[in-house]
Amino acid sequence: MAERQYVKISVEERVAIITIDHPPANAFNGPTVADLDSAFDEVTANPDVKVIIITGAGQFAFVAGADVNEIKSQIDLARAGQPVKTDLIEKGQQLFAKIERSKKPVIAAINAVCLGGGNELAMSCHIRIASDTARFGQPEVGLGVLPGWGGNLRLPRIVGRGKATELILTGDMIPAQEAARLNLVNKVVPAGQVVKTAMDLAKKLVGKSALSMAAILETIEYGLNASLEDGYKKELEKFSYLCSTEDGNEGVSAFLQKRQAKFTDK
């Protein structure tokens, strides 16, 4: 595994845990985004990894947003009549799109404060589990800017246009329980249990067919941006493909024989 300053990786029972560790608030700056991008590529390419968990180190934050000093540097450039450097924004957008389109399930284990870029990261994950002490928000409006890593796009898709507009325009934070009510998170668990809960779920997914899970994730992602008719075509394509796989045969045979399926991801 490569050495990274702000992101750590551990692999256990075919589950990779990516931990963002940039004290004190796990804020995103250029090196942290680069480390996360590199780490995600590493675990995605690892054939021994079937499920990925992303979490934050410490008790204060999952990710408390972008490094405001980096935003200020772009403001200074603009005020001096210089072009704003959009590299970090573009890299964050590309990284979160990569996570969202991952063929391996990605679970966000949200251990604490989840703001700005942290919330945008969480929304790019397929499943979100939150500590009951977590807080969520897109506070960029208070800085005179706007979410730049997909917050304006994903939040309305998840919680609805009206509520998303309110949250983005006000910059208000909401507690984990409210986030669950809005379907922003799947489950709320006691503080200190979020990674364990994510790991329990990940181990359940490890027992499923990697081919089936990848096809499901791809079809869901495709369907969110396609017509219903095109979505049906994608389902048919993926269903036909899975019927031709060893895992498809194994799963159906195991059901008919009343035994536990043993998938080989082939």
pLDDT tens-digit series, residues 134-177: 999 999 999 999 999 999 999 999 999 999 999 999 999 999 99
Contact in structure between 112 and 58 (CB atoms under 8 Å):
yes
Which residue in the list 12, 100, 120, 229 is annotated as catalytic? 120
Closest CA to 115 of 180, 47, 66: 66
Is 140 noted as a catalytic residue in this protein? yes
User: What is the arithmetic mean of pLDDT over 74-101?
Assistant: 90
What average pLDDT does the structure give for the chain? 95
More confident residue, 87 or 18: 18
pLDDT of residue 1: 64
Is 235 noted as a catalytic residue in this protein? no
7-206 CATH, one of 3.40.50.800, 3.40.50.1950, 3.90.76.10, 3.90.226.10: 3.90.226.10
pLDDT tens-digit series, residues 188-221: 999 999 999 999 999 999 999 999 999 999 999 9
Encoded tokens for 228: 């219903």
Asked if the model's pLDDT at residue 133 lies above 70, the reply is: yes
Helix (H/G/I), strand (E/B), else coil: 130: strand
Strands 7-12 and 15-20: antiparallel
In total, the chain counts a number of residues equal to 266
* Separation between Cα atoms, residue 156 and residue 38, nearest integer Å: 29
**Largest separation between any pair of C-alpha atoms in the chain:** 72
Which residue in the list 42, 70, 140, 166 is annotated as catalytic? 140
User: What is the arithmetic mean of pLDDT over 231-245?
Assistant: 97
